[in-house]
């Protein structure tokens, strides 16, 4: 396969409607799995799927066993964007994740904090990408991780914290591992090779969520990789063209 890549794990997104959605109507998680498996029939490499829960629809629990029967062993949840789930609904998901012995995969940033800070930066006319990390700070990542990991621990669920970017968030994962919880975490190549200075040098090209952090955060990520709090360095591949990223109104 191209570049030596022989396998990947893609997402089966529960269809939702909203500003960020590509769908005109809502759909179920099981429908999403079937849709992606059909697309994958011509795949030249091995692939698997994470289920992605994007709506607070309790009927997802009725189909979870069928989703697992299709070969899905993990479900992703968000605490940010329009697909961010409330703590109450996530707690319910963690309960079912624990019962089914699958893995919960979490994108953790506190949506209300990020939304407030982004609105303030826009109002202040701070339009250079150097300001972007201020809209999604490390404490917003850490506080959302703290809540999510605590719920997973209480429910006995397996927890995988993805694209960890900051010392504060990595500290959360490490702390909960110390008490025997079923918690694992990753960081990504971009967070170990780039820091926030990239926004000065490359403008909007390095915009991602969570954002690039400080050199001190980079050092902490390597320390946590060494001590085991983080056990994976992934790509978290999300393809955009250069034209997609070099837009004037990058906030939107």
pLDDT tens-digit profile of 6-42? 998 999 999 999 998 999 999 999 999 999 999 999 9
Contact 84, 136 (CB under 8 A): no
- CA 91/CA 161 separation, integer angstroms: 16
Mark whether 40 and 84 lie in a shared domain.
no
Mean pLDDT, range 101-129, rounded to an integer: 98
Q: Do 37 and 83 fall into the same domain?
A: no
Count Cβ atoms below 10 Å from residue 91 Cβ, excluding itself.
18
Same domain, 147 and 42: no
Q: Are residues 64 and 77 in the same domain?
A: no
- Domain stops at, among 40, 69, 98: 69
Give me Rg for the CA atoms of the chain.
18
User: pLDDT tens for residues 35-62?
Assistant: 999 999 999 999 999 999 999 999 999 9
110 and 223 co-located in one domain: yes
Contact 231, 156 (CB under 8 A): no
How many domains in the chain? 2
* Per-residue pLDDT band at 181 (split at 50, 70, 90): confident
pLDDT at residue 179 in the model? 66
Last residue of a domain, one of 44, 69, 94: 69
Rounded-to-integer distance, Cα 235 and Cα 186, Å: 10
pTM beyond cutoff 0.85: yes
> Is 60 inside any structural domain?
yes
Range of the domain at 105: 73-245
Average pLDDT for 120-132: 97
């Amino acid at each position: 396969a191209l570049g030596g890549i022989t396998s990947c794990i893609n997402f089966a997104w529960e269809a939702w409607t909203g500003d960020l959605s590509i769908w005109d109507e809502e759909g179920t998680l099981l429908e999403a799995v079937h849709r992606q498996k059909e697309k994958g029939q011509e795949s030249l490499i091995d692939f698997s799927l994470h289920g992605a829960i994007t709506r607070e629809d309790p009927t997802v629990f009725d189909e979870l066993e069928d989703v697992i029967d299709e070969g899905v062993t993990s479900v992703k949840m968000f605490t940010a964007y329009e697909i961010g789930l409330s703590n109450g609904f996530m707690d319910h998901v963690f309960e079912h994740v624990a019962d089914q012995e699958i893995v919960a995969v979490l994108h953790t940033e506190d949506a209300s904090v990020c939304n407030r800070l982004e609105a303030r930066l826009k109002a202040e006319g701070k339009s250079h990408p150097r300001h972007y990390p201020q809209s999604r700070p490390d404490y917003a990542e850490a506080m959302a991780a703290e809540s999510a990991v605590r719920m997973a621990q209480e429910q006995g669920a397996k927890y995988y914290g993805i694209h960890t970017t900051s010392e504060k968030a990595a500290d959360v994962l490490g702390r909960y591992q110390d008490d025997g919880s079923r918690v694992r975490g990753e960081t990504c190549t971009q967070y170990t090779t780039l820091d926030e200075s990239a926004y000065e040098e490359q403008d909007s090209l390095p915009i991602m969520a969570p954002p690039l952090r400080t050199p001190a955060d980079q050092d902490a990520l390597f320390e946590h990789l060494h001590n085991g709090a983080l056990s994976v360095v992934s790509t978290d591949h999300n393809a955009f063209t250069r034209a997609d990223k070099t837009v004037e109104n990058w906030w939107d």
